[in-house]
Structure 1
């Protein structure tokens, strides 16, 4: 898709509108099927019978009740004679409106190809499942920050789809992906040692803590937090989108301090919304920790002005994050 706005965000570790909660289920069969949006399980059943993998994944998503997304998308990759490659199928699907990719295949080579392609695209996230930690470890070695693996001994009921159904459609930045109850998924009866092995391999899983069933962690294969990637993508896209709309709705955005101020104002509006959705932290006085620095016309390279390219805008923010563990000390006084 052609665009005139490019926003680049680096995650700084201390010393039409894209559907950011919309999952795409991608199956495979001898005949391809195009991207299609569904609003309920009954309409999925009309195209994909109850015994199909696509239906099972959709059922896992919508089993999460009120937390589930209002709509999902499903498509099929062509296999067999003259099959679609991962590159081919994603080329047609990346033009569509979705954010989370779920594939029905768990074949290691397929998963690796999809993970690599999603990493290279840098705009979406891929969720997959595995019942073999060796497979997870092999994926982790690639350092994928946009792929999350859900480990479970039972993967036929799509635990990763259930997780997306439970969390994915919440306002971006408002939730963490740990501690989540998943309808239809049984917790693993494992020791802390077993759980540590799963996390070390790079996966997350489903366990019982304090009598409650919940997801064990909220990280991608690289160890990055899922909500950090989600928030980064949301902010980048919305700044690009808002400025593109500014260009389209204005007779001209002048290359002067007034026009530059318009770009900065749009950027700050997106950051303000991100703060309200709890993506961005606040200081001790409750003020949002973000800022912008847009060079004035006189500070811009004359060569850029001649080309009508403004490259002098910068912004920063501190992620709010979430508390996943705590140690609280007490003292008994006599």
Structure 2
């Protein structure tokens, strides 16, 4: 086999003009809008055998010497990796790559397997047929105008959802849906739906999207900030459509009301039905003025998805930019120079958030004209305390905890009331 040589220079020729070209390849979509589909795998020969931790037999512990020279019995469990619930190896085969599988990873404790696919057709190669609920969700997701270049699927063993999500929580996704309906009746949610909702609420950096047939189903999710509740016919995947239509658009530039969903039939509903949906802060897909639109853009607590998504953007980018600065700088001095550099990065992130529409624009009242005018600046501030204000413990540990910021969220207009006056020349007996 010929050896690959990496230090050969290109040939030259006698000429006066050289043209050098760089091919810019598309980057993977890594942001805050990617979707994960949860698929429970029933117990079978492919599910994990055991809990993953096999303790040493009683009375058969290793004995070793401590640093002081005395012997001590150590009870260290052996980790027995669980087999993947899908039966597929993590290493991608040539067929996997050709089919459109981007990556695959197994949790060694539960056997849950996380896989990223480039298209719905890629998923079709690994399910029985195109009536499979995972395929249906992915197919509708990729149908939407703002779909990502990938969708992730988490195959998890029954009863192990919490452990499976913990293993893959910080992979490349932000919104999660179940492949199958999670309400056993019009009002009762599955244990997995409640678990996923509570996990999202505890971490405050991912969103669960549920779909039910009746508003009463969301009573038990009252006040959840990171769970989005949809009301629609369960035969149509409105959850995947909503994420694909909106989540990957520029955070701060879009709201989640008025969205048009491809492949989803708008409902004709009464005022009373709409009021019932609004009462639990759920979202329907309804026809208004001859067009389909999402009825609202809120989570089940009544807060708005775009506001929480914007907060997540700030949190994520603030952490990433400061982390990158620490990694790329040889030394950040623990004095005012280093503190000012950190504060400057925080200000840059908030300025970007303002330019995106996440942060409100500052306004001032002009007493001369009686009008409120824009300043062209974001309503945010960054403060940093000096080195002398840090505790001796923090200085000793090289930890700086004096950086803080505040900002005012930018809202949006969802409804409008217009007051008009009509002048008439006709006399009538009307009391109006």
- TM-score (norm. length: structure 2): 0.69
In the other structure, the counterpart of 1:138 is: 220
In the other structure, the counterpart of 1:55 is: 135
* Per-residue CA distance 1:144-188 (angstroms, 9 max, x = gap): 100001111x11221011000100110111100000111111111
* Per-residue CA distance 1:102-124 (angstroms, 9 max, x = gap): 11241412211110111112211
- Shifted more, 26-35 versus 184-193: the winner is 26-35
Alpha-carbon distance, 1:93 to partner: 1.8
Alpha-carbon distance, 1:332 to partner: 3.8
CA distance in 2, matches of 1:313, 1:193: 49
| 2:165 matches 1:90 | yes
Answer whether contact 2:29 2:149 (CA < 8 A) is retained: no
Answer whether contact 1:293 1:315 (CA < 8 A) is retained: yes
Sort the Cα spacing of 1:333 and 1:133 in 2 relative to 1 into closer, same or farther, 3 A.
closer
Specify the SS of the correspondent of 1:183. Answer: coil
CA distance in 1, matches of 2:216, 2:257: 23
- TM-score (norm. length: structure 1): 0.88
Alpha-carbon distance, 1:333 to partner: 5.5
Alpha-carbon distance, 1:18 to partner: 5.5
Alpha-carbon distance, 1:255 to partner: 0.9
In the other structure, the counterpart of 2:211 is: 129
In the other structure, the counterpart of 2:412 is: 322
More helix by share: 1
* Per-residue CA distance 1:11-56 (angstroms, 9 max, x = gap): xxxxx99630111111112353421112222112112331211111
In the other structure, the counterpart of 2:387 is: 297
| 2:246 matches 1:246 | no
Alpha-carbon distance, 1:301 to partner: 3.2
CA distance in 2, matches of 1:74, 1:85: 15
CA distance in 2, matches of 1:175, 1:294: 32
| 2:276 matches 1:264 | no
Structure with higher Rg: it is 2
Specify the SS of the correspondent of 1:286. Answer: strand
CA distance in 2, matches of 1:217, 1:58: 23
User: Aligned residue pairs: how many?
Assistant: 311
Specify the SS of the correspondent of 2:376. Answer: coil
CA distance in 2, matches of 1:243, 1:17: 21
* Per-residue CA distance 1:178-220 (angstroms, 9 max, x = gap): 0011111111111111101011123110111122110000110
Matching residue within 306, 309, 319 for 2:399: 309
CA distance in 1, matches of 2:122, 2:244: 17
Specify the SS of the correspondent of 2:114. Answer: strand
Specify the SS of the correspondent of 2:361. Answer: coil
More strand by share: 2
CA distance in 2, matches of 1:95, 1:232: 17
Answer whether contact 2:29 2:148 (CA < 8 A) is retained: no
Answer whether contact 1:127 1:147 (CA < 8 A) is retained: yes
CA distance in 1, matches of 2:166, 2:220: 26
**Structure 1 residues 170-319: aligned runs within 5 Å:** 170-283=249-362, 284-319=374-409
- Shifted more, 188-197 versus 294-303: the winner is 294-303
Specify the SS of the correspondent of 2:283. Answer: coil
Alpha-carbon distance, 1:60 to partner: 1.5
CA distance in 2, matches of 1:202, 1:167: 19
Alpha-carbon distance, 1:300 to partner: 2.9
Matching residue within 17, 23, 44 for 2:35: 23
Alpha-carbon distance, 1:128 to partner: 1.0
In the other structure, the counterpart of 2:199 is: 117
CA distance in 2, matches of 1:221, 1:139: 7
Answer whether contact 1:18 1:99 (CA < 8 A) is retained: no
